[in-house]
Protein backbone atom coordinates (compact mmCIF):
# COMPACT_ATOMS: atom_id res chain seq x y z
CA UNK A 1 0.00 0.00 0.00
CA UNK A 2 1.07 3.63 -0.44
CA UNK A 3 0.54 5.99 2.47
CA UNK A 4 -1.00 9.43 1.87
CA UNK A 5 1.51 12.19 1.25
CA UNK A 6 2.71 14.00 4.36
CA UNK A 7 3.86 17.60 4.36
CA UNK A 8 6.83 16.66 6.56
CA UNK A 9 8.19 13.17 7.17
CA UNK A 10 10.75 12.71 9.94
CA UNK A 11 12.99 9.64 10.09
CA UNK A 12 14.15 9.10 13.66
CA UNK A 13 12.21 9.53 16.91
CA UNK A 14 15.12 10.59 19.08
CA UNK A 15 15.35 14.09 20.60
CA UNK A 16 16.16 15.82 17.28
CA UNK A 17 13.40 14.03 15.39
CA UNK A 18 10.76 14.64 18.06
CA UNK A 19 11.69 18.32 18.29
CA UNK A 20 11.50 18.65 14.51
CA UNK A 21 8.13 16.92 14.31
CA UNK A 22 6.64 19.02 17.10
CA UNK A 23 7.70 22.34 15.56
CA UNK A 24 6.57 21.33 12.06
CA UNK A 25 3.19 20.19 13.41
CA UNK A 26 2.77 23.43 15.39
CA UNK A 27 3.35 25.26 12.10
CA UNK A 28 0.32 23.56 10.56
CA UNK A 29 2.09 20.82 8.62
CA UNK A 30 0.80 17.26 8.37
CA UNK A 31 3.63 15.30 9.98
CA UNK A 32 4.65 11.68 10.44
CA UNK A 33 7.63 10.21 12.30
CA UNK A 34 9.25 6.85 11.54
CA UNK A 35 11.52 4.94 13.92
CA UNK A 36 12.76 1.36 13.98
CA UNK A 37 12.56 1.07 17.77
CA UNK A 38 9.45 -0.09 19.65
CA UNK A 39 9.32 3.13 21.70
CA UNK A 40 10.24 6.75 20.92
CA UNK A 41 13.08 8.69 22.51
CA UNK A 42 16.20 7.22 20.97
CA UNK A 43 19.09 5.95 23.06
CA UNK A 44 19.30 9.01 25.29
CA UNK A 45 15.61 8.98 26.29
CA UNK A 46 15.05 5.23 26.17
CA UNK A 47 12.59 4.16 28.90
CA UNK A 48 12.35 7.74 30.24
CA UNK A 49 9.39 10.15 30.42
CA UNK A 50 10.93 13.02 28.39
CA UNK A 51 9.51 12.01 24.95
CA UNK A 52 5.93 12.39 26.20
CA UNK A 53 6.07 16.20 26.13
CA UNK A 54 7.10 16.19 22.46
CA UNK A 55 4.53 13.62 21.29
CA UNK A 56 1.54 15.59 20.06
CA UNK A 57 0.08 16.78 16.80
CA UNK A 58 1.60 14.18 14.49
CA UNK A 59 1.55 10.48 13.60
CA UNK A 60 4.25 8.15 14.96
CA UNK A 61 5.04 4.85 13.24
CA UNK A 62 7.31 2.65 15.37
CA UNK A 63 9.12 -0.58 14.51
CA UNK A 64 9.54 0.73 10.96
CA UNK A 65 12.74 0.70 8.91
CA UNK A 66 13.40 2.64 5.73
CA UNK A 67 14.89 0.17 3.27
CA UNK A 68 14.75 2.01 -0.06
CA UNK A 69 13.75 5.17 -1.90
CA UNK A 70 11.98 4.10 -5.12
CA UNK A 71 11.30 7.66 -6.30
CA UNK A 72 11.74 11.28 -5.29
CA UNK A 73 9.44 12.14 -2.40
CA UNK A 74 8.85 8.50 -1.49
CA UNK A 75 10.40 5.94 0.87
CA UNK A 76 9.86 2.21 1.16
CA UNK A 77 9.29 1.19 4.77
CA UNK A 78 9.23 -2.28 6.29
CA UNK A 79 7.73 -3.39 9.61
CA UNK A 80 7.42 -6.86 11.08
CA UNK A 81 3.91 -7.15 9.67
CA UNK A 82 4.00 -5.29 6.37
CA UNK A 83 5.80 -3.06 3.92
CA UNK A 84 4.52 0.17 2.41
CA UNK A 85 5.52 3.33 0.64
CA UNK A 86 5.18 6.69 2.33
CA UNK A 87 5.24 10.03 0.54
CA UNK A 88 6.42 13.43 1.67
CA UNK A 89 6.91 17.00 0.51
CA UNK A 90 9.79 17.62 2.92
CA UNK A 91 11.95 15.01 4.65
CA UNK A 92 13.92 15.46 7.88
CA UNK A 93 16.66 12.94 8.59
CA UNK A 94 17.23 12.64 12.34
CA UNK A 95 18.93 9.25 12.17
CA UNK A 96 21.22 9.78 15.15
CA UNK A 97 24.54 8.05 15.73
CA UNK A 98 26.02 4.73 16.75
CA UNK A 99 28.99 3.72 18.87
CA UNK A 100 32.44 3.39 17.37
CA UNK A 101 34.04 0.03 18.11
CA UNK A 102 37.78 -0.54 17.75
CA UNK A 103 39.04 -4.12 17.43
CA UNK A 104 41.48 -5.64 19.90
CA UNK A 105 42.23 -9.27 20.78
CA UNK A 106 39.18 -10.74 22.53
CA UNK A 107 36.72 -8.00 21.61
CA UNK A 108 34.36 -10.57 20.07
CA UNK A 109 33.96 -12.51 23.34
CA UNK A 110 30.42 -12.67 24.75
CA UNK A 111 29.85 -9.90 27.33
CA UNK A 112 32.20 -7.47 25.60
CA UNK A 113 29.64 -4.85 24.57
CA UNK A 114 29.30 -1.28 23.49
CA UNK A 115 28.92 1.06 26.46
CA UNK A 116 25.60 2.38 25.19
CA UNK A 117 24.61 -1.11 24.11
CA UNK A 118 25.01 -2.53 27.61
CA UNK A 119 23.07 0.41 29.02
CA UNK A 120 20.26 -0.21 26.51
CA UNK A 121 20.12 -3.90 27.42
CA UNK A 122 20.02 -3.02 31.12
CA UNK A 123 17.13 -0.62 30.46
CA UNK A 124 15.37 -3.46 28.64
CA UNK A 125 15.71 -5.83 31.58
CA UNK A 126 19.18 -7.41 31.47
CA UNK A 127 20.04 -8.21 35.12
CA UNK A 128 23.24 -6.36 36.05
CA UNK A 129 22.90 -6.14 39.83
CA UNK A 130 26.05 -7.48 41.45
CA UNK A 131 27.91 -7.80 38.13
CA UNK A 132 31.47 -6.49 38.00
CA UNK A 133 31.79 -4.13 35.04
CA UNK A 134 34.71 -2.26 33.47
CA UNK A 135 33.69 0.78 31.42
CA UNK A 136 36.27 1.82 28.83
CA UNK A 137 36.78 3.90 25.71
CA UNK A 138 36.30 7.62 25.30
CA UNK A 139 33.79 10.41 25.79
CA UNK A 140 31.20 11.63 28.30
CA UNK A 141 28.99 8.63 27.48
CA UNK A 142 31.30 6.51 29.66
CA UNK A 143 30.34 8.50 32.75
CA UNK A 144 26.65 8.41 31.93
CA UNK A 145 26.72 4.66 31.36
CA UNK A 146 28.77 3.98 34.49
CA UNK A 147 26.39 6.11 36.56
CA UNK A 148 23.35 4.29 35.21
CA UNK A 149 24.85 0.83 35.74
CA UNK A 150 25.97 1.65 39.26
CA UNK A 151 22.58 3.12 40.07
CA UNK A 152 21.03 -0.22 39.11
CA UNK A 153 23.22 -2.36 41.32
CA UNK A 154 26.26 -3.10 39.17
CA UNK A 155 29.75 -3.01 40.64
CA UNK A 156 31.66 -0.63 38.39
CA UNK A 157 35.30 -1.61 38.85
CA UNK A 158 36.74 1.39 37.02
CA UNK A 159 36.30 3.78 34.11
CA UNK A 160 39.17 3.76 31.58
CA UNK A 161 39.24 6.98 29.50
CA UNK A 162 41.82 7.03 26.71
CA UNK A 163 42.12 10.84 26.74
CA UNK A 164 44.95 12.30 28.80
CA UNK A 165 44.27 14.19 32.02
CA UNK A 166 45.57 17.52 30.65
CA UNK A 167 43.06 17.48 27.78
CA UNK A 168 40.22 16.72 30.19
CA UNK A 169 41.25 19.56 32.50
CA UNK A 170 41.19 21.99 29.58
CA UNK A 171 37.77 20.68 28.59
CA UNK A 172 36.55 21.01 32.17
CA UNK A 173 37.68 24.63 32.27
CA UNK A 174 35.73 25.33 29.07
CA UNK A 175 32.53 24.17 30.79
CA UNK A 176 32.49 27.44 32.73
CA UNK A 177 30.87 28.93 29.62
CA UNK A 178 28.21 26.18 29.71
CA UNK A 179 26.88 26.10 33.31
CA UNK A 180 24.25 23.49 32.50
CA UNK A 181 26.88 21.10 31.17
CA UNK A 182 29.13 21.81 34.15
CA UNK A 183 26.30 20.97 36.55
CA UNK A 184 25.63 17.70 34.71
CA UNK A 185 29.32 16.74 34.89
CA UNK A 186 29.47 17.45 38.62
CA UNK A 187 26.32 15.43 39.22
CA UNK A 188 27.69 12.49 37.24
CA UNK A 189 30.97 12.45 39.17
CA UNK A 190 29.05 12.65 42.44
CA UNK A 191 27.12 9.51 41.50
CA UNK A 192 30.41 7.75 40.84
CA UNK A 193 32.27 8.58 44.05
CA UNK A 194 34.67 5.77 44.85
CA UNK A 195 34.87 4.53 41.25
CA UNK A 196 38.39 5.01 39.82
CA UNK A 197 38.40 7.24 36.72
CA UNK A 198 41.67 6.50 34.95
CA UNK A 199 42.75 8.90 32.22
CA UNK A 200 45.24 7.93 29.52
CA UNK A 201 44.01 4.33 29.93
CA UNK A 202 42.54 1.88 27.43
CA UNK A 203 41.86 -1.86 26.92
CA UNK A 204 44.43 -3.86 24.97
CA UNK A 205 42.86 -7.33 25.16
CA UNK A 206 40.01 -9.32 26.69
CA UNK A 207 40.28 -12.86 28.04
CA UNK A 208 37.85 -15.67 28.71
CA UNK A 209 37.00 -19.26 27.82
CA UNK A 210 33.35 -19.20 26.74
CA UNK A 211 32.68 -15.61 27.79
CA UNK A 212 34.52 -12.61 29.12
CA UNK A 213 36.43 -13.17 32.35
CA UNK A 214 38.94 -10.31 32.42
CA UNK A 215 40.30 -7.37 30.47
CA UNK A 216 43.91 -6.22 30.19
CA UNK A 217 44.34 -2.45 30.43
CA UNK A 218 47.25 -0.15 29.64
CA UNK A 219 48.11 3.13 31.31
CA UNK A 220 51.46 4.64 30.45
CA UNK A 221 54.07 1.87 30.73
CA UNK A 222 51.88 -0.29 32.98
CA UNK A 223 49.68 -3.21 31.88
CA UNK A 224 47.43 -5.12 34.26
CA UNK A 225 44.50 -7.51 34.13
CA UNK A 226 41.16 -6.62 35.69
CA UNK A 227 38.58 -9.39 36.34
CA UNK A 228 35.06 -8.50 35.20
CA UNK A 229 31.72 -9.92 34.07
CA UNK A 230 31.14 -7.24 31.41
CA UNK A 231 33.30 -4.84 29.47
CA UNK A 232 31.29 -1.81 28.32
CA UNK A 233 33.49 -0.30 25.65
CA UNK A 234 32.92 2.50 23.13
CA UNK A 235 35.27 4.97 21.46
CA UNK A 236 32.90 7.83 20.78
CA UNK A 237 30.03 8.05 18.31
CA UNK A 238 29.67 7.91 14.51
CA UNK A 239 26.84 9.74 12.70
CA UNK A 240 24.33 7.49 10.92
CA UNK A 241 24.54 8.90 7.40
CA UNK A 242 23.60 5.86 5.31
CA UNK A 243 20.06 7.00 4.45
CA UNK A 244 21.30 10.49 3.60
CA UNK A 245 24.01 9.01 1.36
CA UNK A 246 21.50 6.77 -0.42
CA UNK A 247 19.33 9.82 -1.09
CA UNK A 248 22.29 11.67 -2.60
CA UNK A 249 22.96 14.16 0.21
CA UNK A 250 26.48 15.52 0.49
CA UNK A 251 28.44 14.19 3.45
CA UNK A 252 30.96 16.47 5.14
CA UNK A 253 33.79 15.78 7.56
CA UNK A 254 31.45 15.62 10.58
CA UNK A 255 28.31 14.09 9.07
CA UNK A 256 25.48 15.14 6.76
CA UNK A 257 26.32 18.59 5.37
CA UNK A 258 23.58 21.19 6.02
CA UNK A 259 23.04 24.94 5.61
CA UNK A 260 21.78 27.42 8.21
CA UNK A 261 18.24 26.00 7.96
CA UNK A 262 19.52 22.40 8.38
CA UNK A 263 18.80 21.86 4.67
CA UNK A 264 20.96 19.25 2.90
CA UNK A 265 22.34 19.45 -0.63
CA UNK A 266 19.18 17.72 -1.92
CA UNK A 267 16.09 19.95 -2.27
CA UNK A 268 13.36 19.35 0.33
CA UNK A 269 15.60 17.13 2.50
CA UNK A 270 16.79 18.40 5.90
CA UNK A 271 18.89 16.78 8.60
CA UNK A 272 19.29 17.42 12.33
CA UNK A 273 20.93 16.00 15.42
CA UNK A 274 23.86 13.62 15.61
CA UNK A 275 23.55 12.68 11.93
CA UNK A 276 25.03 16.09 11.11
CA UNK A 277 27.81 15.81 13.70
CA UNK A 278 28.19 14.69 17.30
CA UNK A 279 27.13 17.47 19.64
CA UNK A 280 24.93 16.16 22.45
CA UNK A 281 21.31 16.52 23.52
CA UNK A 282 20.97 20.30 23.60
CA UNK A 283 22.40 20.78 20.11
CA UNK A 284 20.22 17.96 18.77
CA UNK A 285 17.08 19.58 20.16
CA UNK A 286 17.74 23.03 18.74
CA UNK A 287 18.79 21.63 15.35
CA UNK A 288 15.57 19.61 15.30
CA UNK A 289 13.52 22.71 16.02
CA UNK A 290 15.24 24.65 13.24
CA UNK A 291 14.72 21.80 10.76
CA UNK A 292 11.07 21.42 11.74
CA UNK A 293 10.30 25.10 11.33
CA UNK A 294 12.26 25.37 8.06
CA UNK A 295 10.66 22.26 6.55
CA UNK A 296 7.24 23.75 7.30
CA UNK A 297 8.21 27.05 5.68
CA UNK A 298 8.56 29.03 8.94
CA UNK A 299 12.04 30.43 8.25
CA UNK A 300 11.67 33.36 10.66
CA UNK A 301 11.04 31.01 13.57
CA UNK A 302 13.94 28.84 12.41
CA UNK A 303 16.35 31.77 12.36
CA UNK A 304 15.36 32.75 15.90
CA UNK A 305 17.16 29.58 17.09
CA UNK A 306 20.45 30.25 15.24
CA UNK A 307 22.24 31.97 18.13
CA UNK A 308 21.38 29.18 20.56
CA UNK A 309 22.58 26.59 18.05
CA UNK A 310 25.90 28.39 17.70
CA UNK A 311 26.35 28.35 21.46
CA UNK A 312 25.83 24.59 21.56
CA UNK A 313 28.11 24.10 18.55
CA UNK A 314 30.98 25.73 20.44
CA UNK A 315 30.53 23.10 23.14
CA UNK A 316 30.49 20.35 20.49
CA UNK A 317 33.78 21.63 19.06
CA UNK A 318 35.41 21.57 22.49
CA UNK A 319 34.05 18.06 23.04
CA UNK A 320 35.49 16.78 19.78
CA UNK A 321 38.90 18.27 20.51
CA UNK A 322 39.08 16.95 24.07
CA UNK A 323 38.17 13.36 23.22
CA UNK A 324 40.12 12.91 19.97
CA UNK A 325 41.31 9.32 19.70
CA UNK A 326 45.00 8.69 20.34
CA UNK A 327 47.28 7.07 17.74
CA UNK A 328 48.14 4.13 20.00
CA UNK A 329 44.64 2.74 19.46
CA UNK A 330 45.48 2.06 15.80
CA UNK A 331 47.87 -0.69 16.83
CA UNK A 332 45.57 -2.64 19.17
CA UNK A 333 44.44 -5.24 16.62
CA UNK A 334 46.68 -8.26 16.05
CA UNK A 335 46.92 -9.68 12.50
CA UNK A 336 44.43 -12.42 13.38
CA UNK A 337 41.97 -10.10 15.19
CA UNK A 338 38.58 -10.03 13.47
CA UNK A 339 37.61 -6.58 12.24
CA UNK A 340 34.49 -7.50 10.25
CA UNK A 341 32.55 -9.78 12.57
CA UNK A 342 29.73 -10.53 10.12
CA UNK A 343 32.06 -12.03 7.51
CA UNK A 344 34.93 -13.18 9.81
CA UNK A 345 37.51 -10.94 8.14
CA UNK A 346 40.80 -10.47 9.99
CA UNK A 347 42.87 -7.32 10.26
CA UNK A 348 45.66 -8.94 8.23
CA UNK A 349 43.34 -9.57 5.28
CA UNK A 350 41.99 -6.02 5.34
CA UNK A 351 45.46 -4.52 5.67
CA UNK A 352 46.51 -6.34 2.49
CA UNK A 353 43.92 -4.37 0.47
CA UNK A 354 44.26 -0.91 -1.03
CA UNK A 355 40.83 0.45 -0.15
CA UNK A 356 37.18 -0.27 0.65
CA UNK A 357 36.32 -1.44 -2.85
CA UNK A 358 39.11 -4.00 -2.94
CA UNK A 359 38.38 -5.11 0.62
CA UNK A 360 34.74 -5.74 -0.28
CA UNK A 361 35.64 -7.62 -3.47
CA UNK A 362 38.35 -9.78 -1.93
CA UNK A 363 37.18 -10.28 1.67
CA UNK A 364 33.46 -9.25 1.82
CA UNK A 365 34.36 -6.82 4.60
CA UNK A 366 31.34 -4.60 5.27
CA UNK A 367 28.96 -6.77 3.24
CA UNK A 368 27.34 -8.74 6.07
CA UNK A 369 24.02 -8.09 7.81
CA UNK A 370 25.24 -4.92 9.54
CA UNK A 371 26.32 -3.47 6.15
CA UNK A 372 29.53 -2.06 7.61
CA UNK A 373 27.91 -0.28 10.55
CA UNK A 374 30.27 -2.02 13.01
CA UNK A 375 33.44 -2.51 11.00
CA UNK A 376 33.08 0.66 8.93
CA UNK A 377 34.02 3.06 11.71
CA UNK A 378 36.90 0.84 12.79
CA UNK A 379 38.28 0.56 9.25
CA UNK A 380 37.99 4.31 8.75
CA UNK A 381 40.01 4.91 11.92
CA UNK A 382 42.56 2.16 11.26
CA UNK A 383 43.03 2.59 7.51
CA UNK A 384 41.65 6.02 6.69
CA UNK A 385 39.11 4.58 4.23
CA UNK A 386 35.63 6.03 3.77
CA UNK A 387 32.70 3.99 2.48
CA UNK A 388 32.38 4.64 -1.25
CA UNK A 389 28.69 3.94 -1.82
CA UNK A 390 25.42 3.09 -0.10
CA UNK A 391 22.82 1.08 -1.99
CA UNK A 392 19.37 -0.22 -1.07
CA UNK A 393 18.29 -2.09 0.89
CA UNK A 394 19.72 -0.17 3.82
CA UNK A 395 18.96 -3.12 6.10
CA UNK A 396 18.31 -6.82 5.49
CA UNK A 397 14.76 -6.91 4.12
CA UNK A 398 12.16 -9.43 2.98
CA UNK A 399 12.32 -10.30 -0.71
CA UNK A 400 8.64 -9.45 -1.17
CA UNK A 401 9.24 -5.98 0.29
CA UNK A 402 11.96 -5.31 -2.24
CA UNK A 403 9.91 -6.78 -5.08
CA UNK A 404 6.99 -4.49 -4.31
CA UNK A 405 9.14 -1.38 -3.82
CA UNK A 406 8.09 1.10 -6.50
CA UNK A 407 6.22 -1.52 -8.55
CA UNK A 408 3.37 0.88 -9.31
CA UNK A 409 5.67 3.65 -10.51
- Is 250 in the same domain as 308? yes
pLDDT 10s digits, 377-399: 999 999 999 877 788 888 888 88
The secondary structure of 191-260 as a DSSP string is HTTTS-EEESEEEEEEE-SSS--EEEEEETTEEEEEE-SEEEEEE-EEE--HHHHHTT--B-SSSB---T
Is the pLDDT assigned to residue 48 strictly greater than 80? no
Confidence of residue 2 (pLDDT cuts 50, 70, 90): very low
Confidence of residue 42 (pLDDT cuts 50, 70, 90): confident
Confidence of residue 189 (pLDDT cuts 50, 70, 90): confident
- Is 56 in the same domain as 165? no
Is the pLDDT assigned to residue 141 strictly greater than 80? yes
In a domain, 301, yes or no: yes
pLDDT 10s digits, 60-106: 999 999 999 999 999 999 998 889 999 999 999 999 999 999 999 99
In a domain, 1, yes or no: no
Residues 256-277, mean pLDDT to the nearest whole number = 97
Residues 329-349, mean pLDDT to the nearest whole number = 96
- Is 129 in the same domain as 226? yes
Domain-ending residue, one of 300, 320, 340: 320
Residue 11: per-residue pLDDT? 98
- Is 87 in the same domain as 111? no
Instruction: State the Cα–Cα distance between residues 79 and 84, nearest whole angstrom.
Output: 9
Residue 177: per-residue pLDDT? 81
DSSP tally for the chain: helices H, then strands E: 13, 19
**pTM, to two decimals:** 0.93
Is the pLDDT assigned to residue 186 strictly greater than 90? no
In a domain, 363, yes or no: yes
Is the pLDDT assigned to residue 3 strictly greater than 80? no
- Is 94 in the same domain as 242? yes
Whether the CB-CB separation of 77 and 83 falls below 8 Å is answered with yes
Q: Give how many domains the chain has, as a whole number.
A: 3
Confidence of residue 55 (pLDDT cuts 50, 70, 90): confident
Domain-ending residue, one of 285, 320, 355: 320
- Is 263 in the same domain as 364? no
Instruction: Tell me the residue range of the domain where 207 lies.
Output: 101-235
- Is 110 in the same domain as 193? yes
Summary mean pLDDT of the chain: 93
Burial class of residue 285, CB neighbours in 10 A (0-12, 13-18, 19+): buried
- Is 396 in the same domain as 345? yes
Which of 359, 337, 342 is closest to 350 using CA atoms? Answer: 359
Rg (CA), the chain: 21
Amino acid sequence: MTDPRFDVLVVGAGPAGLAAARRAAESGARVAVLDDNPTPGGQIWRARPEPARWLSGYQVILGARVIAAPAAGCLTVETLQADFEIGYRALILATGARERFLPFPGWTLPNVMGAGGLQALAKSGLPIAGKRIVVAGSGPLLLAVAGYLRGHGARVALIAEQTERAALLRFGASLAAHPGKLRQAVELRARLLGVPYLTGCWPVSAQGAERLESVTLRRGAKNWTEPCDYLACGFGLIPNTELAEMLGCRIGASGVAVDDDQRTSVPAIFSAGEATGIGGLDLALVEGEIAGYAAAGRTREASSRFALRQQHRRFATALEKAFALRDELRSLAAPETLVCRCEDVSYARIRACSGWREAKLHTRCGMGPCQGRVCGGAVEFLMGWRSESVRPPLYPARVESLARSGQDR
